[in-house]
Amino acid sequence: MNYALIGGTQSGCGKTSVTLALLQFLNKRQKSVRCFKTGPDFLDPMWHKAITHKTSYNLDTNMMAIEQIQQILSKHQDVEFGIIEGVMGLFDGKSGVGGKGSAAHLAKVLDVPVWLVVNAKGMSGSIVPLVKGFVREAEDIGFRISGIIANRLGSENHARIIRELLLEHQLPPLIAWMEKNAPLLSERHLGLQMPEEHDVPDFSKAFHVELDLLKSTSDSLALTSEPQINKSKLNYLQGKTIAVARDSACCFIYPSNLDWLQAQAAKIIFFSPIAGDAVPDNTDAIWLPGGYPELHLQALSQSATWASLAKHIEQGTPTLAECGGMMLLAESIIDHQGTSWNMAGILPIACRMQDRLAALGYRQDENSGIKGHEYHHSKREDHQILPKAYSLKRGDEGLLFNNCRASYIHWYFESAPDVAAQLFLRKPP
């Protein structure tokens, strides 16, 4: 299996479009491929899966141990190509140049070659010092850039000029290029729109690839056999039925979190608040992930789900509500136009949408060590003082109501398995 990481010179250079175009290219040539995503993003993996029909896993060195990343890759070696989409600019991470969470850090710890995406619109000779700088910095950090993908080129002649310049200056070769009139992906405040809202654009007429160079500039990884898991740490949730909200309002779910719940021998059942599904009576715990509740306010304001959900929370059923999932429990959500929509009314809060980013960053609970990520464009208005759900140096500490923990943070369960399990277990009397 050949791997490569698609990194970019900066956010907005075209990494995701290039990644999707490459997945389409490989699919049409009947090359089996699986994609992964650097960092905590939920939306890019949805687009990956829409093309490959295979789950795209997040690989995040801020929230995950290297052994956990290795384990994910080891489990999914059943394809010819493993493509890892980077995050932001190649060296952009939590801090410094190539720090934790960056695509560069992931490339280094995995020893995976990088294909660098450059927005080369209006560029010819200037690509040389730009690429030279990235290549040298990569070498200093301890990984290699093996190929260049030029985005937004004007013509085949433009591509020829770029190709010859890279060759002349002994830089990584041009392995692919995208025309400047290629389709664009629609975006909204949390990033790209979801693939269920739009067909995946057909990039085939605008994307040009040298397949032989793809093969020669990618590489196998020195993955150990699947890491051994301490069996004493399995089956935390054996025999427990966990109801997970899953629809467009609750779609921000790390696939590894579902895998982890199943590894703990939990039974997972899904329900849709948009459809008005009831939470089954035999549910032992509830998980309300985030998503886009603000796009479905009319349906949610009339949802029949709230009665059964309120009953469970009143009875103390352990409930984890993350970001949009917390918003569902509010008395109301106030949309961008100022209209107030009634929600479940379980928590004494309202959530107000805003155009401005409200919070962004990695979070860690000071007491338990569990790690997560916070990113939202709404603010919570607390109508009553409740205990805090978490203890953080920075970020939303949330609310604790009965056995319900609600905050804006999306947690990564395997960052602290003991703690994650307790989120779904009743506390002893």
d(CA 55, CA 214): 22
User: Where does residue 429 rank: exposed (0-12), middle (13-18), buried (19+ CB within 10 A)?
Assistant: exposed
What is the CA 15 to chain-centroid distance, rounded?
A: 14
Q: Is the dihedral of CA 291, 295, 301, 303 positive or negative?
A: negative
Q: Is 323 a catalytic residue?
A: yes
Asked if residues 41 and 209 have their Cβ atoms less than 8 Å apart, the reply is no
Write a three-state SS string for the chain: CEEEEEEECCCCCCHHHHHHHHHHHHHHCCCCEEEEEECCCCHHHHHHHHHHCCCCEEECCCCCCHHHHHHHHHHCCCCCEEEEECCCCCCECCCCECCCCCHHHHHHHHCCCEEEEEECCCCCCCHHHHHHHHHHHHHHHCCCEEEEEEEEECCHHHHHHHHHHHHHCCCCCEEEEEECCCCCCCEECCEECCCCCCCCCCCCCCEEECHHHHHHHCECCCCCCCCCCCHHHCCCCCCCEEEEECCCCCCECCHHHHHHHHHCCCEEEEECCCCCCCCCCCCCEEEECECCHHHCHHHHHCCCHHHHHHHHHHCCCCEEEECHHHHHCCCEEECCCCCEEECCCCCCEEEEECCCCCEEEEEECCCCCCEEEEEECEEEEECCCCCCCCCCCCCCCCEEECCEEEECEEEEHHHCHHHHHHCCCCCCC
Q: Which two tokens stand for residue 115?
A: 């294909």
State the catalytic residue, choosing from 35, 250, 323, 351: 323
> Mind telling me the catalytic residues?
323
